[in-house]
Amino acid sequence: MSKELIRLRDLTMEFDGERILDGINLYINDHEFLTLLGPSGCGKTTTLRIIGGFLTPTSGTVTFDGKCINDVPPYERQINTVFQRYALFPHLNVFDNIAFGLRVAKLPKEEINQRVQEMLEIVSLKGYGHRRIQSLSGGQQQRVAIARALVNRPKVLLLDEPLGALDLRLRKDMQIELKRIQQAMGITFVYVTHDQEEALSMSDTVVVMDKGRIQQIGKPEDIYNEPKNAFVADFIGESNILDGVMLEDYKVRFFGRTFQCVDKGFAPNESVDVVIRPEDIDIVAPDEGHLVGTVTSVTFKGLNYDIIVEFKGFKWLIQTTDHCAEGSTIGIRLNPEDIHIMKKSEYSGMFGDYSSYSAEYDELTEDAGDEEE
């Protein structure tokens, strides 16, 4: 694709003896939209702040265009940031906020004027220049923050949960808007979020983080379809994760049955984690199924039903557009490409069991994520 712009090498970060980042290695290409995704406390914001120059890593190096920038202060980096909760200057109006960086750089007045106006247009705030920051809605403040950063034409824009404070509808609009701006201006975006949907829909590359370590780097499709471990499988979308044994290449055994699959390269009889996405499961009549189970709960989600089905004491989540009555017995079929095999990891057994499933599950985890910093 394009050339490498930023590289993080063996980054570690410690606060009061607590390890926040543990050996981060990552490169970011020019013009790339890269997302750091993970739950709160995973180190994604810390990583972003190190790139921005607000934190100095305990060890490891940050290089920008081939040069180490560990000791370069933020004001000398060709990087701008859109802060969580925006950090707009309350004593300045919209125009002056956006013009801030250009005035510091002592650009000619006409050029400042022209670039700010141009930026106001890009973020659809034309005519808002004289408004006070306090009189703007959250979405408008958000766009001022983006304009204030982008007007400096940075090489890299860092965005720290920029849409976290907006409501769902506005968030969706802004996601499209941000992607459009990124493509139109050809700037590298490094985006931090705990929202997996946001990460998947906007990014060229997704970096999934947990406990200060990178769990997986890849294209959104690869992350979703080929999660590396139980954490990634669970964090990105919903997953049923089961214990299985890889008998040989393309053959996996779980629930006392041998299934065809598309994975290979495991040792014979290696125990593995088996991931089955809830939307990949076909519901059939009980006598036609590979497995037969009982529906224990049904939740209407709009697009589909979330149904919990019990198989031999283990509960699965299945997403289906067909209604199944609670208490009914159904059969399911699994095609080889529906089954994804992962190596065992420290996360094995921690995720992918829906025995304690409740409809509020999603909202609860999202709330927890919002509290970061």
Contact residues for another protein, defined by CB under 8 A:
52-54, 73-75, 79-81, 83-85, 87-91, 100-101, 104-105, 148-149, 152
Nearest CB to another protein, comparing residues 149 and 272: 149
Minimum Å distance from CB 191 to another protein? Answer: 16
Q: Which two tokens stand for residue 253?
A: 């055994």
CA angle 167, 172, 173 (to 5 degrees): 100
Alpha helices of the chain — where are they, by DSSP H? 44-52, 94-104, 109-122, 138-150, 168-185, 196-202, 220-225, 230-235, 361-370
> How many Å separate Cα 234 from the centre of its chain?
12
Q: Which residue has the tokens 């510091």?
A: 104
When computed from its CA atoms, the radius of gyration of the chain, rounded to whole angstroms, is: 24
Nearest CB to another protein, comparing residues 152 and 320: 152
Nearest CB to another protein, comparing residues 74 and 336: 74
Query: Kind of pairing, strands 270-276 and 339-343?
Result: antiparallel
Smallest Cα–Cα separation from 160: which of 23, 36, 72? 36
Smallest Cα–Cα separation from 328: which of 289, 298, 305, 299? 298
Nearest CB to another protein, comparing residues 73 and 265: 73
Minimum Å distance from CB 194 to another protein? Answer: 19
Minimum Å distance from CB 356 to another protein? Answer: 38
Minimum Å distance from CB 88 to another protein? Answer: 8
Query: Kind of pairing, strands 59-64 and 4-15?
Result: antiparallel
Minimum Å distance from CB 80 to another protein? Answer: 6
Nearest CB to another protein, comparing residues 14 and 96: 96
CA distance 163 to 138: 9
Minimum Å distance from CB 105 to another protein? Answer: 6
Nearest CB to another protein, comparing residues 51 and 232: 51
